[in-house]
Structure 1
Amino acid sequence: MAEQLDEVDFALAAYRTEGEWVVAELTHDHLGDVDVLASALRRFPGDAGTLGLVAIDEDFFVLVRVSGGSTRLLLSDVTAAEEWELAASVLEHLHLPDPEDDDEPEPAGEVGLLADLGVSAATMAELIDDEELYPDELLSEVARMVGFGELFDDVVGLTSA
């Protein structure tokens, strides 16, 4: 697990408090599995829950949305579970089987996770299908659509377009 944490591109919490978005970095201690990550996200004082955005090895991302006792998930590529403990934990949490060797990269979980925040399931699926986008770029676009793009880009170190 420790060597996998070195491959984490970023892990962030995003939440709204008093109508303003706040983006905070999560420590790698919070990335052991979905339960640990969700527990860490619940500590933030979001008015309507908290989003977790994790990108790993410029390869895939995990989106987590917690609100009260609810944990909702989106994994950008099921095949990541073959090598990455966090991705395997997402599939386990979703009660999905481990990927087979011949499985194609596809998302798992709720593609419409952010529909109420302005990112429809169709838009999210389209972004995930865009092979030109790295996870940080995709999540930057999602953050922009939701309303915290500049904060996201500042924390991750991306230059806003």
Structure 2
Amino acid sequence: MTVQKSGPGFAVAAVLENGGWRCSELDPNALTDLDAAITELGKIVTTGAVVALLCVDDEFFVLIRLAPSGTELVLSDAAAALDYDIAADVLDMLRAEMPDEDDDETWAEGDLGMMSDLGLPSEELEMIASDIELYPDEQLRMIARRCGFGDQFDDLLDRL
């Protein structure tokens, strides 16, 4: 069983509709409960892309995208599953193995190509997620910029 920590973080939905992006805050429960995050994302009615960007406790990020084929997920640091329920839930949904407690490595898990149609190839997303010199909010800002909603993302974070 993991220890549920809570602390600094944010949960944002980015919605592409009619060629433009808008960002809005998701319920804070999305930071601790994957089902809550997916439910919140599912409430957004649009014909375009919808992506949740979760920055959890300044430790890791989670990307969630609802697609016709199912829920697509990326966890920036699989080792976070040892300490955070939401990260463990992501690994469970991905059917990925839990990391070994003795493992000091960090690696991303999930569909790294989930943002490629939005301008962020899988290789670049993997590079961003694996950059241990960056905080998760900085990584998410890079992702937002690369996908074309950096200004909207920054404006929302400035208001939070």
Give the alignment's TM-score, normalised by structure 1: 0.88
Secondary structure at the counterpart of residue 4 of structure 1: coil
Deviation at 1:24, TM superposition (A): 0.5
Unaligned 5+ segments in structure 1 are: none
Secondary structure at the counterpart of residue 157 of structure 1: helix
The residue that corresponds to 2:13 in the other structure is: 13
Identity of aligned residues (%): 36
The residue that corresponds to 1:66 in the other structure is: 66
For 1:101-120, what per-residue CA distance to the aligned partner results, in whole angstroms no more than 9, with x for missing partners? Answer: 13311001111110111101
CA distance in 1, matches of 2:134, 2:52: 19
The residue that corresponds to 2:156 in the other structure is: 155
Is 1:92 the counterpart of 2:92? The answer is: yes
Deviation at 1:8, TM superposition (A): 4.2
CA distance in 2, matches of 1:31, 1:58: 11
Report 1:125-144 matches (<5 A).
Answer: 125-144=126-145
- The question of whether the paired residues in 1 share the 8 Å contact of 2:64 and 2:74 is answered with yes
CA RMSD in angstroms, aligned pairs only: 1.9
CA distance in 1, matches of 2:58, 2:31: 16
The letter of the residue matching 2:79 is: T
Unaligned 5+ segments in structure 2 are: none
Runs of 4+ aligned residues of structure 1 deviating over 6 Å after TM superposition are: none
Secondary structure at the counterpart of residue 97 of structure 1: coil
CA distance in 1, matches of 2:8, 2:87: 12
